[in-house]
Each structure stands twice: as C-alpha cells, then as structure tokens.
Amino acid sequence: MQRLLNKPEDYVDDMLKGIYAAYKDRVTYVEGDMRCYVTKRKKEGKVGLMTGGGSGHLPLFLGFVGDGMLDGCAIGGVFQSPSAEQIANVTREIDSGAGVLYVYGNYTGDIMNFEMAEELVDFDDIKCIHVKGCDDVASAPKGEEDKRRGVAGIYFVIKCAGAAADAMLPLEEVARIAEKANAHVRTFGVALSPCIIPENGKANFEVKDGEMELGMGIHGEPGVEVCPLKTADETVDYIMERVLADLEVQEGDEVAVLMNGLGGTPQEELFIMYKRAAEILDEKKVSVYFAKAGEFASSMDMIGASISVMKLDEELKKYLSTEADTPFIHQSAI
C-alpha cells in the first residue's frame, strides 16, 4: 500500500487536524473531541441539522456541514459509526431551542448510536427526529425501501432539509421535507476496483481485472451481479433503466441528477457517463432541472461511480435550488 499518510491508526485524526487548520474560520469541534465537528456559523432559533457516519467517504458526511446544509457531524473511524456520546455532544452544541433533525444512512450501527444519543439528550429537553437515507436500489427490492442502504442520494435529502431549516421552518416541517426528498431519490452504483482501509493495508474485497461489480455498496457490500467490464454507455444504460423504473419516472417529469465518483474515478469519466444519462433522459422526454458530477459520497480509493436521480415537484425544487456553501460544497442559487 503506497499512501500519503503517517501512521495508519492516525489516519482520521490527521485528516481532521488538516481540515480544522484549513477552514479554521468555518468549523470547529466541541468537548475536546475532534470527531465532534460543528459549524462556527450557528444560526440562533433555527432547527439544528446533523448527520454522522464513518470516515472514508468525503465529502460525505462532514463535508456537508456549512451554510444552507448541516450544522454538525459526528465522525467515526474509517467505515465505522461514531459513538452515541459523540452524536449527543454535537446535538447539544447545535441545538438552539428548536430541536434537532438527524439525517444519516440506514446502517445498523448508525441507527443504534443515533437512537442512544437521542436518549442521552432527552435529559437536556432536546427534541430529535430521525430521517434515515435509504436510496440504494440495489440493496433491497421495491416495496422494501426501508431496508435499503443510504448512499450518495442523501446529498439531496440534506440539501432540501438544510434549506428548509435555514428558512426557519419548525422541526416537524423540516423533517417532513427531508422525508419527502428521501422518498423521491434513487441511486445505483458500480465498482471497478476494491478500496483499501488504511489500518488494514489491503483491499477489503476483490474485483478481478476485466470485471465489474454491479450494485456494490460504499463499504464494499456485495452487489447484485458480477459481469464483464461494460463500456460507459452500457453501464449507464444498465443503471438508468433500474433507477428510473424504481422511481417511476414518466414522460414530462422533472429531475435532478447526481453523477458521483467513488474516490478513484477521474472527473472526465464521470462526464462521459453523464453524457449518456442526459441522452437517456432526453429520449424519454424527462427534463433535467439540476445536475452535478463529482465526488459526493466516495469509498476511499474505489474506482467506480453511482447515479442518483431525484424526481422533483415545485416544493422540492424550491429547497433544492437555494444557495449552499460549505468548505467542500458550493452551490449558487438556481
């Protein structure tokens, strides 16, 4: 393993020290714990919005902390959940009397620790509501959406919820908009290589040369099929067929599209993929209101990509289109 690091066991904390040094005017940490990451631009009276999850996915999760998005993030080790205490510490810091909305991926460890954290902050009279991202089409069949993994599509959920909170809506209304966004997003990803966890120093699964894994999760969870390597157009055809069918996208609909790299995919290849996605949507007479290509939910150095599609209505467009600015994400108002 040739990597630019110091000690593998210091990987996450060294990364955080670098972020705090680079963006000391924007973010800080609380309770002496660098993994309790919060914005310095707290807006009093606003619903607090936070997430949490394992490291190794930048800019997910901590990269979404900033203006118009999240107020805080609890940070775990690589592919590991943060602790309930860390989640509770962030919750207390970002609460300003209006309650806190938790938005996080649908993974067992995260669910358990966020639920425990809610019990801890109940003693502080902080009301919390949970929204679990579950956009990964490959991880459970249609009709069992509550069993699906949360992957890159959670960007849309956080963006809409962050805009609603910034508009000073009450907690229940911010949660409703987050749930609505969550229900309107679908994602499917493919992997062409494994990823390497620094502390292990070796790949955590195998993708053979000349093959690709369809539907793999962002921690290396199994996909639905291993097949010979497809072209970019063939890959996008496969993904879009499944995503659009599951989302029940029809002629005349309006959508947002997120072309997401998993850590080792050049930007050029993401735009080659987006070219085909745009062609498919045009052929189906589906209009694209919003599109982004880049890294939003990576998996260390994995080569691969995912496509997220969000079906829009006027309310979701309203919240998706507002300005957002974090050290990692910059979106102008549409």
Q: Name, in order, each residue with C-beta under 8 angstroms of 84's C-beta and a sequence gap of 6 or more.
A: 112, 113, 114, 116, 117, 120
Q: Distance (Å, rounded) from C-alpha 278 to C-alpha 309?
A: 12
Edge-to-edge, what's the strand order for the sheet holding 304-311? 225-228, 211-214, 185-191, 304-311, 254-261, 287-294
Active site residue 219: yes
Q: Is 184 a catalytic residue?
A: no
Residue tagged active-site, from 130, 184, 219, 330: 219
Pairwise CA distance, residues 89 & 72, whole Å = 10
Report the distance separating Cα 285 and Cα 152, nearest Å: 25
Bridge partners of 212, per DSSP, are 227
Catalytic residue among 57, 130, 184, 330: 57
What phi and psi values does residue 245 have, to the nearest 5 degrees?
-70, -45
Structure tokens at 39: 């914005």
Active site residues: 57, 219
